[in-house]
Structure 1
Amino acid sequence: MTTVTDLPQGDPRLLDTDLARELLTSTELARLAYVAPDGTPRVMPMMFHWTGEEVVFSTFGGARKIAHLRARPPVAVTIDTAAAPPRVLLLRGPVTVTDVRGVVAEYAAAHERYHGPEQAAATLAEINHPDLLMARIGLRPTWVGLLDFVTRFPGGGTAEDIVRRARQ
């Protein structure tokens, strides 16, 4: 297993660390950031599913973000905890948006992870009908960052380095 301190920020192999795997299988919402056609940034909190290669988001057909993501596929994503010290997984890369008739498989998997099998089954039964159109938004990260505020800090260095920089 690769350790958090072995790799530089940006290295996709950070996905193989315990911290990244923990966050990728958590029930924390991911925050998907993209740029709208008017040039303004947007951030959407979304459930996600990690396939082992892609972070997959899903949305219903007709959502405005579908066209925005197709027009400008580079995105940034964060999956983080609120507890102290915060743990943060940062991802960047282009997304691929695919139209899907019916429920996106990763949407069903995400619902089960976030809400449990019974609630997921009830929700999916309610939305699944022959006319359902969804979009599968897949991100294969090309840049990965991790912050744990114990061994990895923004800007690198140690906790003492950050305190020293703050006092300058």
Structure 2
Amino acid sequence: MTTTLPQGDLRLLDTGLAQRMLASIELARLAYVAPDGTPRVLPMLFHWTGDELVMATFAGTAKLAALRANPAVAITIDRAGPPPEVLLVRGNAVVTEVDGVLPEYAAAQRRYYGPEHGAAAVAEVDRPGLRMARIAVRPSWAGTFDFQERFPGGRTAEDFARRGR
């Protein structure tokens, strides 16, 4: 039963909740630390490979330098509900720059916008000289909560209901 898996256990990625979030068109919210030491959170399209959460961006963006300097990240993919469903992932980002369109960028565009609009979005950026960056995060920690069986802080439904009293 998934309620017995502790937060942080990577087997949570195999649960129905996590699989729904990883296949969803909800945005991944990527949290990282900027060079000035302040936190940043960016909503991004993503593609789940089965091993890595991959986000694509264009080469030369400020977040790439920050991720190279401090690769520790946290990612949230959530649906407001009701009931809310939340997947939390932590890991280190690996940044790789490539010439042309990343396959994961094209896959995310198709998933989020459908085959026709996804292909149009890819065609719009696919120009000579294009450099993209692949931000890949292999989870080292996973957490879920759905406010049905799993609650923040690992509490039971009863404990959660009594919070703040």
CA distance in 2 between counterparts of 1:118 and 1:154 reads 39
Displacement of 1:130 in angstroms is: 1.9
Partner of 1:122: 120
CA distance in 2 between counterparts of 1:99 and 1:92 reads 22
Displacement of 1:126 in angstroms is: 1.3
What residue identity is the alignment partner of 1:101?
A: D
Partner of 1:30: 28
Q: How does 1:1-168 map to 2 (within 5 A)?
A: 3-167=1-165
Moved over 6 A (4+): none
CA distance in 1 between counterparts of 2:124 and 2:25 reads 22
CA distance in 2 between counterparts of 1:61 and 1:49 reads 18
Unaligned runs of 5+ residues in structure 2 are: none
Unaligned runs of 5+ residues in structure 1 are: none
Displacement of 1:163 in angstroms is: 2.2
What residue identity is the alignment partner of 1:41?
A: P
Percent identity between the two aligned chains: 64
1:72-109 CA-partner distances (Å, limit 9, x unpaired): 00000000001211100000010100001000110000
CA distance in 1 between counterparts of 2:42 and 2:107 reads 19
1:59-81 CA-partner distances (Å, limit 9, x unpaired): 00111101110000000000000
Displacement of 1:160 in angstroms is: 1.3
CA distance in 2 between counterparts of 1:154 and 1:125 reads 42
CA distance in 2 between counterparts of 1:6 and 1:100 reads 42
How has the CA–CA distance of structure 1 residues 165 and 126 changed in structure 2, closer, same or farther, with 3 Å as cutoff? closer
How has the CA–CA distance of structure 1 residues 83 and 165 changed in structure 2, closer, same or farther, with 3 Å as cutoff? closer
